[in-house]
């Protein structure tokens, strides 16, 4: 749209209407300036035609014309919307009677010029109207420019608001994307509850699952889950609010992943369409930790059950022997046979008390080791003497077990905690007796590679390779606790004592081929100053 | 002449076997010992027919539960009453499904042992 006047033609258009060519020539000559564009019409009809296609600032209209005269032409001009505001100056040769003048004004004239006209008056009158036209045009153009400017401003404001909405939407969607992608240990997804098409699966799926077709693997495991199917049924019944369940995904490497999924139903961006939204958290590590904790609790409970069994077992013979002796004493007969019986009962009671004491010591040792109160009282100790002492004390057990004892003792003298070393020998010997199947037990002491060496070998049930490490841990044993008594603490204590002295213990064994336990202890100096750090 | 009462003692701990046998023998009760469930069943199948079975639950290999299951399968063996001896804290839970006649809780006392055992023996 051309808002301002064309720069190529800023002239004011003036329509000259007269039936006589000489008059038109005269008018044109007087008004001929670069400011005006003069258009000539030889009749009222021709003037009206010109007015159809062009706008004029002023019309100079001859009154007396054949056919349609000036008044008639003026009325027609005033009837037309396009031309009704164009000022008209009548040109007349007749006398200016008042009635004539009124007729002209009625027809829409604004001025008169009488022939023969004065060129100066004509020019100045025309100039007034041309100027008026220019000013009107300017006002019109300014108003139009103003309207245009206002519209532009309105459009700009609308655009600015739309932009702001878009910016906010973008920020919101970016925020949610960041939040979603920030959940590194979870998969955020959306799906159509009818078709089960997944519209979104967050990018961490492939990192968590570690497969090329991770998303497909994930959706397959999810859809196969019974709780998911139940949720779908409730959605279709309209009874669904939300659901939480766990499901398993078998990874490509054969390892299982566990997900805890929380489902919600919401309206999607498509009107009238619902959307299933889910967050599936990778709980594999939590589950593993839980299983670990459950196992630890189970091991502890098993230990408590065994410990109570083991501690109560010696109490039955002890109690029975004591009550028997009570009866004998009450009977008051102290002949040789009764005294022999009493002595035997006392011996057996003492044996049960020893058994209880050993169990109690074992428990206390473990609680000291675990409580960090395990300190070594070092003194010069002859290892072979310790072995001889212990074997002497276990004479009864040895003969009951049916195991033959074979000793090969060479001197090995070091700075150790005597009672703790004794404990090592006792624990290894009782194991050999327990699992030795009445076959010979060989114990040797000596020196090897600058370390003192204690080796106890049995020829019993043996230990599977995969259990070699486990048997040295707390509460563990290679065989069912129901089948072999004991607290399952012996080897754990042996290992802790050996390590506290800077030494170690190893096992060599195969099932049905017996077991060899070898304890190595440094003779001293290097570790003498070092308190056991447990 | 009155028949000698007979008890089969199924128990793995030698000290317990020795002490119980001594007490029962003083009452003129014959005691035969089996050191696990399988040995106990074998004694019975071999024709030893006691008045009562004293049964430990925790034993190496074939334990007391195994023994009870085997006994259930055999109509003849089912007729012999069983007294369970157990040091296990929850002996009631463990014996809930077993058809046992009495329970002796370890540590077993002398009077308790005799009072529990005697009602199952002839002449009482």
In this prediction the ipTM stands at 0.90
pLDDT value of residue A533:
40
C-alpha–C-alpha distance, residues A418 and A16, integer Å = 142
Could you say which of A312, A324, A482 has the minimum Cβ distance to residue B110? A324
Q: Does B102 lie at the interface with A, CB-CB under 8 angstroms? A: no
Instruction: Answer whether A348 sits within 8 Å of B18, measured CB to CB.
Output: yes
Chain A residue numbers with beta carbons less than 8 Å from the beta carbon of B111 are 323
Q: Does B107 lie at the interface with A, CB-CB under 8 angstroms? A: yes
pLDDT value of residue A84:
87
Helix-helix angle A315-331:B110-117, to 10 degrees: 90
C-alpha–C-alpha distance, residues B19 and A452, integer Å = 43
Helical residues (DSSP H) of A225-283, grouped into ranges: 226-237
Q: Does B91 lie at the interface with A, CB-CB under 8 angstroms? A: no
Instruction: Answer whether B15 sits within 8 Å of A323, measured CB to CB.
Output: no
The label of the residue with tokens 């750090």 reads A533
**Chain A: which residues have CB within 8 Å of chain B?**
305, 308-309, 312-321, 323-324, 327, 348, 351-352, 355, 400, 482-485
Q: What is the pLDDT of residues A423-451, one digit of tens each?
A: 899 999 999 998 898 999 999 999 999 99
Could you say which of B13, B26, B108 has the minimum Cβ distance to residue A319? B108
Q: Which are the contacts of A62, defined by CB distance < 8 A and separation ≥ 6?
A: A17, A18, A19, A20, A23, A70, A90, A91, A92
Chain B residue numbers with beta carbons less than 8 Å from the beta carbon of A328 are none
Interface test with B, best of A308, A317, A401, A484 (most B CBs within 10 A): A317
pLDDT exceeds 80 at position A305: no
Instruction: Answer whether A320 sits within 8 Å of B20, measured CB to CB.
Output: yes
Q: Give B 14-43 residues with CB within 8 A of chain A.
A: 14-16, 18-20, 22-23, 26
Q: Are A257 and A282 in contact (CB under 8 A)?
A: yes
C-alpha–C-alpha distance, residues A323 and B110, integer Å = 6
Q: Which are the contacts of A234, defined by CB distance < 8 A and separation ≥ 6?
A: A240, A243
Instruction: Answer whether B18 sits within 8 Å of A316, measured CB to CB.
Output: no
Q: Which are the contacts of A271, defined by CB distance < 8 A and separation ≥ 6?
A: none
Residue B113's SS3 state is helix
| Cα first-last separation, chain B | 15
Q: Does B65 lie at the interface with A, CB-CB under 8 angstroms? A: no
Instruction: Answer whether B22 sits within 8 Å of A323, measured CB to CB.
Output: no
User: Closest Cα partner for A208 from A291, A290, A288, A284?
Assistant: A284
Cα A497 to Cα A384, A405, A447, A501: the distances in Å are: 18, 24, 19, 6
Chain A residue numbers with beta carbons less than 8 Å from the beta carbon of B58 are 309, 482
Distance from CA of A294 to the nearest CA of B (A): 21
pTM of the model: 0.53
pLDDT value of residue A482:
47
Q: Are A129 and A58 in contact (CB under 8 A)?
A: yes
User: Closest Cα partner for A457 from A476, A483, A439, A477?
Assistant: A439
Chain A and chain B share a number of CB contacts under 8 A equal to 72
Least confident of A58-67, A498-507, B81-90, B103-112: B81-90
User: Which residue in A has a C-alpha nearest to residue B19's C-alpha?
Assistant: A317
Instruction: Answer whether B107 sits within 8 Å of A324, measured CB to CB.
Output: no
Q: What is the pLDDT of residues A147-201, one digit of tens each?
A: 999 999 999 999 999 999 999 999 998 998 888 888 888 999 999 988 989 988 8
User: Closest Cα partner for A314 from A282, A269, A359?
Assistant: A359
The gap from C-alpha A180 to its chain's centroid, in whole angstroms, comes to 6
pLDDT value of residue A330:
93
Instruction: Answer whether A309 sits within 8 Å of B107, measured CB to CB.
Output: no
DSSP state of A67: S
pLDDT value of residue A529:
43
The label of the residue with tokens 């599977």 reads A464
Residue-level pLDDT, tens digit, chain B, 124 residues: 568 999 999 998 888 999 999 999 999 999 999 989 999 999 999 999 999 999 998 887 788 889 999 998 998 898 999 999 986 555 555 666 667 888 898 889 999 999 999 999 987 6
pLDDT band at residue A215 using 50, 70 and 90 as cut-offs: confident
Instruction: Answer whether B107 sits within 8 Å of A316, measured CB to CB.
Output: yes
Chain B residue numbers with beta carbons less than 8 Å from the beta carbon of A348 are 15, 18-19
pLDDT exceeds 80 at position A237: yes
Chain B residue numbers with beta carbons less than 8 Å from the beta carbon of A309 are 58, 87-88
pLDDT band at residue A124 using 50, 70 and 90 as cut-offs: very high
pLDDT value of residue A130:
92
pLDDT value of residue A272:
87
pLDDT band at residue A479 using 50, 70 and 90 as cut-offs: low
pLDDT band at residue A472 using 50, 70 and 90 as cut-offs: confident
Chain A residue numbers with beta carbons less than 8 Å from the beta carbon of B65 are none
Distance from CA of B117 to the nearest CA of A (A): 15
Chain B residue numbers with beta carbons less than 8 Å from the beta carbon of A484 are 60
Q: Does B93 lie at the interface with A, CB-CB under 8 angstroms? A: no
pLDDT value of residue A8:
52
Cα three-residue angle A366-A372-A378, rounded to 5 degrees: 85
Q: What is the pLDDT of residues A357-385, one digit of tens each?
A: 878 887 887 777 777 667 788 899 999 99
Could you say which of A308, A313, A484 has the minimum Cβ distance to residue B16? A313
pLDDT value of residue A498:
93
pLDDT exceeds 60 at position A2: no
pLDDT value of residue A477:
63
pLDDT value of residue A366:
76
C-alpha–C-alpha distance, residues A486 and A488, integer Å = 6
């Amino acid at each position: 749209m051309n808002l301002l006047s064309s720069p190529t033609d800023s002239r004011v258009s003036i329509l000259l209407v007269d039936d006589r060519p000489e008059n038109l020539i005269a008018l044109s000559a007087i008004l001929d300036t670069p400011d005006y564009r003069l258009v000539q019409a030889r009749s009222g009809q021709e003037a009206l035609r010109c007015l159809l296609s062009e706008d004029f600032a002023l019309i100079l209209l001859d009154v007396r014309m054949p056919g349609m005269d000036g008044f008639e032409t003026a009325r027609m001009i005033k009837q037309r919307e396009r031309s009704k505001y164009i000022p008209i100056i009548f040109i007349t040769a007749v006398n200016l009677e008042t009635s004539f003048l009124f007729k002209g004004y009625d027809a829409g004239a604004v001025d008169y010029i009488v022939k023969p006209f004065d060129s100066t008056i004509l020019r100045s009158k025309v100039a007034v109207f041309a100027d008026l036209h220019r000013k009107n045009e300017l006002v019109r153009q300014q108003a139009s420019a103003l309207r245009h400017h206002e519209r532009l401003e309105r459009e700009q404001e609308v655009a600015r608001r739309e932009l702001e909405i878009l910016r906010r939407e973008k920020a919101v969607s970016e925020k949610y994307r960041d939040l979603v992608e920030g959940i590194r240990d979870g998969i955020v997804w959306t799906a159509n509850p009818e078709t089960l098409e997944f519209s979104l699966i967050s990018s961490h799926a492939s990192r968590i699952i570690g497969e090329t077709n991770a998303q497909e693997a994930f959706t397959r495991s999810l859809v196969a889950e019974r709780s998911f199917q139940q949720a779908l049924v409730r959605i279709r019944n309209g009874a669904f609010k939300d659901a939480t369940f766990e499901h398993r995904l078998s990874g490509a490497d054969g390892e299982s992943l566990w997900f805890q999924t929380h489902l919600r139903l919401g309206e999607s961006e498509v009107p009238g369409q619902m959307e299933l939204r889910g967050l599936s958290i990778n709980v594999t590590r939590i589950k593993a930790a839980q299983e670990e904790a459950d196992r630890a609790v189970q091991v502890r409970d098993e230990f408590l059950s065994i410990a109570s069994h083991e501690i109560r077992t010696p109490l039955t013979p002890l109690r029975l022997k004591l009550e028997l002796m009570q009866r004998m004493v009450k009977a008051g007969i102290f002949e040789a046979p009764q005294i022999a019986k009493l002595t035997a009962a006392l011996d057996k009671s003492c044996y049960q008390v020893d058994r209880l004491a050993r169990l109690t010591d074992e428990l206390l040792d473990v609680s000291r080791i675990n409580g960090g109160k395990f300190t070594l009282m070092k003194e010069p100790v002859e290892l072979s003497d310790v072995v001889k002492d212990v074997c002497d004390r276990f004479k009864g057990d040895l003969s009951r077990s049916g195991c033959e004892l074979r000793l090969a003792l060479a001197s090995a003298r070091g700075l150790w905690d005597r009672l703790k070393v004794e404990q090592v020998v006792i624990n290894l010997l009782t194991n050999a007796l327990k699992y030795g199947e009445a076959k010979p037990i060989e114990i040797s002491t000596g020196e090897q590679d600058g370390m003192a060496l204690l080796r106890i070998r049995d020829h019993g049930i043996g230990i599977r390779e995969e259990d070699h490490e486990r048997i040295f841990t707390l509460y563990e044993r290679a065989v069912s606790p129901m089948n072999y008594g004991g607290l399952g603490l012996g080897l754990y204590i042996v290992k802790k004592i050996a390590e506290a002295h800077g030494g170690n213990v190893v096992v060599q064994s195969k099932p049905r081929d017996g077991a060899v336990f070898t304890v190595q202890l440094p003779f001293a100096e290097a570790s003498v100053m070092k308190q056991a750090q447990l | 002449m009155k028949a000698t009462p007979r008890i089969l003692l199924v128990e793995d701990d030698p000290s317990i076997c020795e002490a119980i046998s001594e007490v029962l023998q003083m009452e003129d009760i014959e005691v035969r010992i089996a050191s696990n469930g399988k040995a106990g069943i074998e004694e019975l199948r071999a024709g030893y027919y006691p008045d009562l079975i004293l049964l430990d639950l925790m034993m190496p290999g074939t334990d007391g539960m195994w023994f009870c299951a085997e006994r259930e399968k055999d109509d003849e063996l089912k007729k012999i009453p069983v007294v369970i001896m157990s040091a296990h804290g929850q002996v009631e839970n463990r014996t809930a499904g077993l058809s046992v006649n009495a329970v002796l809780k370890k540590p077993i006392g002398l009077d308790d042992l005799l009072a529990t055992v005697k009602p199952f023996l002839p002449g009482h």
